[in-house]
Structure 1
Amino acid sequence: MAGKRVIAICQSGGEFETDKDGFLSYKGGDAHAMEIDDKMKYKDFKTEVAEMFNSNLNTMTVKYFLPSNKKTLITISNDKDLKRMIKFHGDAETAEIFVMTEVVVPEASHMPGSRSSRTTLSEAGVPVDAPPNVMEEDVADDSNQAGLLLDANFDIVGDTNHGDVDIDIPAEIAAPINAVGSYNEKHAKATEMWQNNITGVGQRFNSVHEFREALRKYAIAHQFAFKYKKNDSHRVTVKCKEEGCPWRIHASRLSTTQLICIKKMNPTHTCEGATLKNGYQATRSWVASIIKEKLKAFPNYKPKDIVQDIKQDYGIQLNYFQAWRGKEIAKEQIQGSYKEAYRQLPYFCEKIMETNPGSLATFTTKENSSFHRLFIAFHASLYGFEHGCRPLLFLDSLLLRSKYQGTFLAATAADGNDDVFPVAFAVVDSESDDNWRWFLLQLKTALSRCRDMTAGVDREAIAINTLSASRSMTIVADREKGLRESIAEVFKDDEIYHAYCLRYLSEQLIRDLKGQFSHEVKRLMVEDLFATAYATRPEGFQRCIESIKSISVEAYNWIMQSEPEHWANAFFPGARYNHMTSNFGELFYSWVSDANELPITQMVDAIRGKIMELIYTRRTESNQWITRLTPSMEEKFEKESLKVRPHQVLTASGSTYEVRGESIELVDIANCNCTCKGWQLSGLPCCHALTVIGCLGRDPYDYCARYFTTNSYRLTYSESLNPIPSIERPGRKDSSQGAVTVTPPPTRRPPGRPTTKKNASQESMKRQLQCSRCKGTGHNKSTCKEFALEF
C-alpha cells in the first residue's frame, strides 16, 4: 500500500502579516512545488528545498501551519517532524511550507577572547524591581546637567561618579572587537545599517531627539558607550565614556531654525575594544524604536521575548522593566497617546451621536478636569433591546488593565436565541455607589429617548411589542456596591424587579461565614444554595434550605435573611427566564478584555466595531431561518413536546384547566400560567400546558413568548450601527464643546502583574460535580442514590 503523499508548496522571500483576529498570512516572495511522502528523509527534503531557493543549509529553517491553526508556526527539524507534518494534513492534497533564513550565533565556548563576567543592573546597585513609572517624555531629552545622563528608569548610561548604570556586552556573545566594533557576524549584520548614522561635521538633523536617536544607534553599531557633557533642547556635547579616549562630538541648533547641526567631531577612538567595559545607550525610546514594527504584527509581544530578541540581535542585555517600558512607549507610538485620547472625548462623543442618531454618548469630569466617567449607548442596541429582546437586563463590571485603570460597567440583554446582546456600557474611574447610580440614570434616559423616537413611527414594531413603553422589567445584578438602593431609586416609578445575582450571593455567603469549613463543605453549601434558588415551589425551597441547615445553622440563618424573594424562583415575582447570574455577557466582556489596553477612544471604537459586526452577522444568519422560533428555542420547545404524556384534562373554571397525571397541575391558558411554574420560568409552554393546548386543538406556537420568535429576533438586529469616520479632534473653534478639557484620571496602573487568584466560592462552584445518570449535582454516577434504587 502506497504511503501518504502531499504536494508541498514551498514559499520564501515574503513576509507574514497579522490580521485583526491574530491570524497570519504570507505575502510576496517566490513559490515552488514538490511532492513528498512519509518515506522521505528530512535531510533529503531540506536539501531539495535549499536547491530550489539557492539557500544555505546551515542557516535555513522550514516551518508550516497546522491545518486548523493560522497563528502558530511549527518548525520541521528532523524526520519525525516531517512525518508529523504529512500526517497532520490528513486528507489534504497540499501543504504550505515556509522557508526562512536565520543567522546562527556561535556558541560562547567557541568564541575566542570571550569574557566570563559582566556588570548587570542589579550588580550596579540599581533596584531592578523599581516600579515601571512610564513618563511621557524621555528624561534625557530635557536634561541639561553637564556630565550626567539621567534617566528616571535607569535606561541610559551616564557618568559613574553620579551613580550611572553600565550595560555590558554579555559574556556569551562577547568577542574580539575590531576598529569599527564588529564583534560577531550576527550582531554586525543587525547593526550594519547604523554604521553611518553619524557622518561628521555639517550633518544636520530635524530635532535634538532625532540626533540623540541617531547617536545611540551609531554607538551600538561601533560598540562604545558615551556620556553627555551638555544636553539640552538646543545643544548636545558628548564624549566617549572610556577615560582618555579622544572621541567627542558637539552639535547645536542652527539659528532661526529647529535644525540641529554637528559643529565639531573627533571620530578617533583609542579605547581598546577587547577590554571594553562600557555598555550601550539602551534607553526605553531606543527599545521602542527597535520593537515597534514587530509589535504591530504581534500585539502580544511579551517583555521577556523582547529581552531575548534584543540580546540575540544586538548583544544587549536588558532587564524585564526596560523591555516593559520600551513596549509601553512603542504601543503609544502605534496606538496614539493615552493623554490625547482623553482630550478627544468631547469631539468623540459628538461624532458618535452625529453618525448614529438616537445614540447617547456623554461624559463627566472632576473639578480639576480629570476624567470621571463615560457612558455609551448606541441607537441600534437600544432599539434592538426595546423591540426584540425580552425585558431582562444584566448588570456587571470588569476591571480595566489600561494605563489609567478604571472600571467597565455594562448592561447586556439576552436575545431570542439566548445569546448576549450589548445594550449600553460605561467607563468610570472606579466602581462606586455614585458611579452605578449615574450609569443607571443614563441608561434610563437612553431607553426613554429610544421609545420616544420610535413611538408613532415604527408602527409594525410597536404592534408586535405592545408593552414596549410600559412593560415590566427584571434587572439581574449584585445587591452590593449600592445597586440595591440605586435600582430602587432610579426606577422607582417603573415596574422593575431586582433579581440578585446568585454568583455574587454565593461568594458573599462564603466570605461572611465565620466558622472553619473545609473546601468540600463550602462546595456543598454553594450547590445547595443554587438548588434552593432553582426550586420552583415553596416546598422544594424548604427541602433545600433544610439541607443547608443540616450543614451549618449559621449559613441557614444568613440565607433566610438574604431576601429570598429577590433570588429564589419559588418567591421571585418577576420573570428572569431561568437566568440566575449577572455575568451572562461573557462574549461582550471578552471583547473588552481584548481592547482595554487601548487609549479610551480607541477602546470604545473597537467595541463599536465588534457590535457592528455582531449585528450584521446575526441579521444575515437569521434571514436563512425557516422556523417560527429561533434555533435554540425551537430545540427546547421540541424537547418539552416529547414530555407530553396522556393526561386527564378537566375544566376547572373559565380558562383554567386541571391536568392529572403524575401530579395534579392547574393550567391557566389565558394568562400563560401553570402551577409547576415551568411555563412562567421559561417563556415556553410546559408539558402540562401543551397537553391542554392539544386538547383544545390550538397551535402551541401561539403560546410561546414572542421574544423567542424569528420575527422578534430579526427586529433585534434590524438597525445598523454606523462607523465613526474619524476621531481626530479638530481645532477648538470647530467644536461645540471645544472649551471642555479632559485630562487622564490620577490613577495609574501599579507595578507587577494583576492577580488572577479566584476566591473560594468561585472555586467551589467551578469544581462542583454533576451526575451523568440523574443530572443532579454534588455526586457522580458511582454514588448516585437514584440509580441504586432502581435495583
Structure 2
Amino acid sequence: MDICRCEMDSIASTSTPSEHLSEHLTDGVPTSTIGYMSRCAVSQSGPLESTVWGNALHSTGQTFASAEEFRKILYKFSLAHNFRYKWTRNAPNALSTYCAVEGCPWQIKARAIRSTPIVRVTTFNNVHSHNAQDLITMAPMSKAKGIAAILEDEVRQDPDLTPPKIRSEVKRKYGMNVSYKQAWRAKEKTKMNIRGDVSHTYKLLPWLCNRLKDSNPGTIAEWTCDADLNFKQLFIAYGCSINGFLLGCRPIIAVDSSFLSGPYRGALYSATAFNADDEMYPLAFGILSSENYEDWLWFLQHLKGLIGSLKVTIISDRHNALLESVGEVFGSENHSHCFTHLKENFGKQATRKNMGGKKGKEDALRLLNAVAYARLEEDYDIAMANLASFSSHLSKWVEETGPEHWAMSKFPNKRWDKITSNLAESFNSWVRKERHHSVIDFVHEHRNKLGTLLHKHAEEMKNWKQPVGPNIEKKLLENISRSLSTVVYPYMSNKFLVKTGNADISVDLLARECTCQYWQMSGIPCEHACAAIRSMGDKVYSYVDECYLVSTQQRIYNDGLKPVNTHDMPSIDSDGNVQYNVDDCTLVSLDPPTTRRPAGRPRERRIESNHIKKRPLHCSLCLEEGHNRGTCKNPNPGAQR
C-alpha cells in the first residue's frame, strides 16, 4: 500500500503512469506490484458532473424567471460545492437561505421584481467556513424534488428510466446515495415538471375533442363524466381511419385492453383492423375507468356506430366482460375467441404433473393445435378423438370452451384465417411508452404516431412491384413452392383434381373453391389451387381476393390524417383553473376520475375468464380436497407424508 500511495502521489504531481512504470521496472520492483500500482493509478475517478454548476450563482443582481427556477439553480449549486443549506424564508416573492454549518457566513437572498414572477438576487455572500467533519456531515441532501431538477434531461431522452437506473446514475454523476422510493418520487416529479399535473390534463379533454372533430371531418371524439364532472370514458376514431376501414379493410376487428400507468386507475381500449397487406390498421381507441361490462359495452356500442350495418367479426380474448358485451352488440356468432389465450388456459389444465412430464404436456398442446387448425369437420372429429384417447379430462375441457368460437372448422362466418388477437397485442406494443403519459399527452402522441404510420404505409404502397403487397406475395410464393410436387388432372368447367401424397383434392377455379377450405377461408389461392392455375398457365394474382390488391390499399389510404393546431389551447394556472379563450368559455372543465391507482405493482395480465378453474386444496394429512393441513378436522395419521 505504501508503494501504491507513493506511486499515486508522484503521478498526480509530475509524470505519467507509463514513465513511473519504466522507473520501477529498472529498480527491480516485482511485476505483480507494478500491475497493482497501475490499476490503482487509473482507477482514480474524475470530477463529478455537478461541478459544471459551480458558477450557476455568481453575484448580486442575478435574475431568474421564477422562484422555482431559483430553487432549482440553488440545489444544483449546492451539489457543485458540496454543502447543505437551510431556508429562513421560502415564498414566491421572497427567498432567503443560509449554510447549514453553524457559524458559516454563506448566505443568499432574492426578491421578486415588483409584481412579476422574476426574482433578483439582493444579497450573496459566497464564502464558506467548513472543517473536514462539516464536509462529511453537511453534504447536500438527496431530496426527491431536487433530484427531479437534475434528472429532467435524462427523463426527456428516456421516459422509461427505471428507479434502479436513476439510483446508479445519480451515484455515478453526482456522488449521492438515494433510496428506491426517492428515485421513484424524483421520476414522478420530473414527469410532472415536463408534462404538468396529471390531474389538470382532464380539464382540456372537451376542448381537444372539439378540435379533433373540426380538424378531421368525420372524426368521432366522445367523452362522458359523472354528475360531479369527474371524467369516466373517452372514445376517439378519426374520420380517415373510419373511411379507410369501410372502403377497403376486411370486416374483422381485433379488440383488446391494457393497463394505463399513472396516479389514476384506467384502461386503454383498442379496435384494430388489417390493411390489404395484413398490417396493423388502427381504427379506434378508448380510455376508460376499468375493464368491466359497462365500459366494454359503451366502447363496443360506439364501435358499432361507426361501422353501421356492416357485419363484422370481432376477435378478442375470453374476458368475462367481453364474452357478454360482444355478444350483445355484435352477436355471439360473430365473436371469435383468441386461440393464443385459450391455449394458455389449456396449458394450466395440461400441467407437467398431470401429463407425466414435459413431453406429455407438449403432446397435449400438439393435439390441441390439431383441433384448432383443422379446416374440415372430418379432420376436427379425428383430432378430438385423438385428444380424448390421450386425456378425457382435456377433451371435456375443450368441448366446454365453445369450439365454435375458436376452431377453424366450427366458426360459422368467414374470418380470413385469423384465429388470434396478435394484431391487438401489436397495438399495445406500438403505444407502450405512450401508455405511461397523461390522457392529453396520449391523445396527442397517438395522433402523431397514427399520422406517421398512415403516411409510411401509403408511401410503401407506391413501391409495390406486384398487384399485392410483400406479405401476401410471400404467402403466394410459399403455396406455389408446395404445389410443385403435385400432379394435376383437368376436368370440365375449370375443375381440377390435384393428387397429393395423402389424398385427391378437388379445385374449382370459377367458384374459387378447394376442398381443403384454405382458399375459401383466407382469400389466397392454396397450394392445390396454385397447382391448377400453374397447369393452365394463368395469372395467379387474378385469383387473389380483391381485399389484398393494390387498388384496395389505395382506397384504404386515400384520405390521410390532418395535423391539429394547438397553439390556442387553453392554459391551466397553478391552482388548476382553465383560462379559456372567449369562444371556448362555454366548455365543460372535467376533473380527474374518482378512482385512484391501488397500492402495489399492477398485475402483469388480467384474469381472462371464468373458464380458468383454481386448483382445489388438498390436505396432506387425510388426502381429501377442500381444506389444508392447518384446518383439517379429521386427520389420518397413517396418511402423513
Do they superpose with TM above 0.5? yes
> Kindly tell me: are residues 584 and 308 of structure 1, through their superposed partners in 2, closer, same or farther at Cα, counting changes over 3 Å?
closer
Partner of 1:583: 422
Matched, 1:615 2:615: no
8 Å Cα contact 2:288-2:295 kept in structure 1: yes
8 Å Cα contact 1:369-1:741 kept in structure 2: yes
Of residues 171, 174, 178 in structure 2, which corresponds to 1:318? 178
Partner of 1:499: 336
Residue identity matched to 1:562: T
Matched, 1:708 2:548: yes
Deviations 1:626-666 (A, max 9, x none): 42333332343344345274444555xxx795736353445
8 Å Cα contact 2:488-2:497 kept in structure 1: yes
Residue identity matched to 2:340: R
DSSP 3-state at the match of 1:499: strand
Of residues 284, 287, 298 in structure 2, which corresponds to 1:424? 284
Structure 1 residue 502 displacement after superposition: 0.5
Deviations 1:313-346 (A, max 9, x none): 4433333332332232223333344233222111
Matched, 1:383 2:223: no
Deviations 1:37-84 (A, max 9, x none): xxxxxxxxxxxxxxxxxxx999xxxxxxxxxxxxxxxxxxxxxxxxxx
8 Å Cα contact 2:223-2:234 kept in structure 1: yes
Partner of 1:409: 269
DSSP 3-state at the match of 1:659: strand
8 Å Cα contact 2:206-2:588 kept in structure 1: no
Partner of 1:478: 317
Structure 1 residue 623 displacement after superposition: 2.1
Matched, 1:729 2:569: yes
Partner of 1:37: none
Partner of 2:83: 224
Moved more, 341-350 or 238-247: 238-247
Instruction: State the TM-score, normalizing by the size of structure 1.
Output: 0.62
Moved more, 335-344 or 708-717: 335-344
C-alpha separation between the residues in 1 aligned to 2:84 and 2:531?
88
Give identity over the alignment, percent.
Answer: 29
> Kindly tell me: are residues 257 and 407 of structure 1, through their superposed partners in 2, closer, same or farther at Cα, counting changes over 3 Å?
closer
> Kindly tell me: are residues 520 and 228 of structure 1, through their superposed partners in 2, closer, same or farther at Cα, counting changes over 3 Å?
farther
Instruction: State the TM-score, normalizing by the size of structure 2.
Output: 0.75
Residue identity matched to 1:739: V
DSSP 3-state at the match of 1:604: helix
Matched, 1:241 2:79: no
Moved more, 540-549 or 571-580: 540-549
C-alpha separation between the residues in 1 aligned to 2:604 and 2:320?
21
Partner of 1:41: none
C-alpha separation between the residues in 2 aligned to 1:679 and 1:308?
57
Structure 1 residue 690 displacement after superposition: 5.4
> Kindly tell me: are residues 473 and 221 of structure 1, through their superposed partners in 2, closer, same or farther at Cα, counting changes over 3 Å?
closer
> Kindly tell me: are residues 425 and 723 of structure 1, through their superposed partners in 2, closer, same or farther at Cα, counting changes over 3 Å?
same
Structure 1 residue 358 displacement after superposition: 0.9
> Kindly tell me: are residues 185 and 742 of structure 1, through their superposed partners in 2, closer, same or farther at Cα, counting changes over 3 Å?
closer
8 Å Cα contact 2:54-2:80 kept in structure 1: yes
> Kindly tell me: are residues 342 and 728 of structure 1, through their superposed partners in 2, closer, same or farther at Cα, counting changes over 3 Å?
farther
Structure 1 residue 715 displacement after superposition: 1.4
Of residues 423, 437, 444 in structure 2, which corresponds to 1:598? 437
Partner of 2:298: 438
Structure 1 residue 379 displacement after superposition: 1.7
> Kindly tell me: are residues 439 and 270 of structure 1, through their superposed partners in 2, closer, same or farther at Cα, counting changes over 3 Å?
same
Unmatched tracts of structure 1, length 5 or more? 1-55, 59-106, 111-171, 174-183, 449-468, 760-791
Instruction: Please report the RMSD computed on the Cα atoms of aligned residues, expressed in angstroms.
Output: 4.0
Matched, 1:743 2:592: yes
Of residues 381, 384, 403 in structure 2, which corresponds to 1:564? 403
Deviations 1:166-223 (A, max 9, x none): xxxxxx99xxxxxxxxxx9657843421353xx56x8776654445445434544444
Deviations 1:725-759 (A, max 9, x none): 21753343422761242325532375569759999
Of residues 391, 400, 404 in structure 1, which corresponds to 2:260? 400
C-alpha separation between the residues in 2 aligned to 1:542 and 1:439?
38
> Kindly tell me: are residues 370 and 298 of structure 1, through their superposed partners in 2, closer, same or farther at Cα, counting changes over 3 Å?
same
Structure 1 residue 287 displacement after superposition: 1.8
Structure 1 residue 532 displacement after superposition: 0.7
1:643-654 alignment to 2 at 5 Å?
643=483, 645-650=486-491
C-alpha separation between the residues in 2 aligned to 1:674 and 1:315?
72
Unmatched tracts of structure 2, length 5 or more? 1-14, 18-37, 571-578, 609-641
Partner of 1:190: 52
Structure 1 residue 572 displacement after superposition: 1.4
8 Å Cα contact 2:50-2:76 kept in structure 1: no
C-alpha separation between the residues in 1 aligned to 2:589 and 2:607?
41
1:116-195 alignment to 2 at 5 Å?
186=48, 189-195=51-57
Of residues 519, 522, 527 in structure 1, which corresponds to 2:366? 527
> Kindly tell me: are residues 496 and 627 of structure 1, through their superposed partners in 2, closer, same or farther at Cα, counting changes over 3 Å?
farther
Deviations 1:83-118 (A, max 9, x none): xxxxxxxxxxxxxxxxxxxxxxxx9999xxxxxxxx
> Kindly tell me: are residues 558 and 308 of structure 1, through their superposed partners in 2, closer, same or farther at Cα, counting changes over 3 Å?
closer
Partner of 2:222: 362
Partner of 2:326: 487
Matched, 1:659 2:497: yes
Residue identity matched to 1:359: T
C-alpha separation between the residues in 1 aligned to 2:596 and 2:69?
32
8 Å Cα contact 1:392-1:476 kept in structure 2: yes
DSSP 3-state at the match of 1:596: helix
Of residues 346, 350, 355 in structure 1, which corresponds to 2:206? 346
Residue identity matched to 2:591: V
> Kindly tell me: are residues 361 and 519 of structure 1, through their superposed partners in 2, closer, same or farther at Cα, counting changes over 3 Å?
farther
Of residues 492, 515, 521 in structure 2, which corresponds to 1:675? 515
Higher relative contact order (CA closer than 8 Å, sequence separation 6+):
2
